[in-house]
Every structure is written in C-alpha cells, then in structure tokens.
Amino acid sequence: MINFLNTRTSFLLIALAVGWTCVYGQNTDKMDTLSYSVGMILAQNLQQQGLTEIEGQSLKEGILDVMEADRNAKMDMNQANQVIQQYLAQKNLSQFEENVKEEEVFLKKNREKDGVKELPSGLQYKILEEGDGPIPSATDRVTTHYHGTLLDGTVFDSSVKRGEPATFPVNGVIQGWQEALQLMPVGSKWRLFVPSQMAYGERGAGDLIKPYSMLIFEVELISIN
C-alpha cells in the first residue's frame, strides 16, 4: 500500500484550517493565508508521491466530501487508494517500458541457451557447480557468497567484492532468491536470471536498481545455519 504519511500530515493541516474557521470567524484574510499554505504543503507532498497531475476542482470536492459530515463521498478510502496505486503503477510502467522490453527479449533468448533451465514462475538459472549437501527450507538461515549485476553488467551488490559472505533467512530475500535457494544443495553455485517481478518490481531499489529491472546473480550456497 502507498505510504501517504506526509500527505496525512497535510490532511491534519486541512482539518486545522477547517477548525480554525470557527476561531477566526469572518477574518477571511487569515483563513485565506492558512488555506493557501495548506494547499502548498499538500501539493508538495503529492508531488513527492509521484502525483504531478491533479484536477483542482475534483481535488477540492474530494477534500470537502471527507471533511464535511453532510456530504457523501463518491467512493470509500480503499477504493480511492486503489485508484491512486493503479495510476502510479501505470505511470511507472510507461516511464520504464524500455526495461520491460529488454527483460522480455533477454529471457526469450536466454532460455534457449545450453544449461539454462526455467521454472514455471519465470525464474531462469544455470548450475555452475553441483553441490551435494542439504537443501534449505524457507525458515532456514543460510550463508552465501553472491555477485549481482544488471543486464548491462553494472554491479549493484557483491559479497564477493566485499570479501565477506552474507547470512540471512531464506524467506527474508527477494522472491527469485527464495525459490532458487530452496532448490539448491549446499555447495552449489548457480547463476540466477531473476525477472523484475521476482526482484524489486515496480519499486526498484536504491539508485542503481530502477523499477522493472531484471537482475542477474551468481550465488554460492555455503551453509545452512
């Protein structure tokens, strides 16, 4: 669900503005200044959430429908939040459509290569080294060495480069890793080709992993802890 913490703060200011109407009475100058200030803060917070195109009259109606008890809103809060999420997801998809196309082309070609296997989820992998140890479950903690890159070869994270393996719960990592780790015997080294929806999807992660970015990992499963 979208985090509207800052926007909620703005709505508190709007409530304050409505409440202060009783205090100020007919002092319209003070109320105009306060209301304008609230509008500025609300607009800034909406922009930070990615809502850069707003129809003013409808925005005003939405605010009043919630703030005034004698008005009936056109939808409930869950529906309103769903509309916003769908809008932001579509806007994000169109902005990073090239990433989606690159992923589709890569996976189509990659599944035809020798040694590459594909799971029903869309996750592809290639076994670089066979292990013969136990296979972890979702609730296990594991220690691994890994090296992660984008499709263009950019390294975004690597325990190998840091020279220190990483330990974490299997169910605490991205979906692509969770699925792969529960198939890997200890001692295995696999190359994972993780579709964006099994990685960070429409959100992305940090500065390097943009929304809808497919990720490639070399993962060595060292031990189950």
For residue 174, indicate whether it is catalytic.
yes
| Choice among 63, 135, 174, 224 that is catalytic | 174
For residue 14, indicate whether it is catalytic.
no
For residue 96, indicate whether it is catalytic.
no
List residues bridging with 223 in a β-sheet. Answer: 143
Confirm if 163 and 182 have CB atoms less than 8 A apart.
no
For residues 11 and 17, what is the distance between their CA atoms, to the nearest angstrom? 10
| Choice among 157, 193, 212, 222 that is catalytic | 157
Query: Which pair of tokens denotes residue 175?
Result: 């979906």
Residue 133's nearest CA partner among 215, 198, 225, 48 is 225
| Choice among 96, 193, 200, 212 that is catalytic | 200
Q: Residue 41 burial (CB < 10 Å; 0-12/13-18/19+)?
A: middle
| Choice among 146, 193, 212, 222 that is catalytic | 146
For residue 24, indicate whether it is catalytic.
no
For residues 184 and 187, what is the distance between their CA atoms, to the nearest angstrom? 8
For residue 200, indicate whether it is catalytic.
yes
For residue 41, indicate whether it is catalytic.
no
Query: Which pair of tokens denotes residue 161?
Result: 């480069």
Q: Which helix (H) or strand (E) holds 53?
A: none
Query: Which pair of tokens denotes residue 177?
Result: 């890793």
The CA radius of gyration of the chain, in Å to the nearest whole number, is: 25
| Choice among 14, 209, 217, 222 that is catalytic | 217
List residues bridging with 192 in a β-sheet. Answer: 125, 217
Tell me the catalytic residues: 146, 156-157, 174, 200, 217
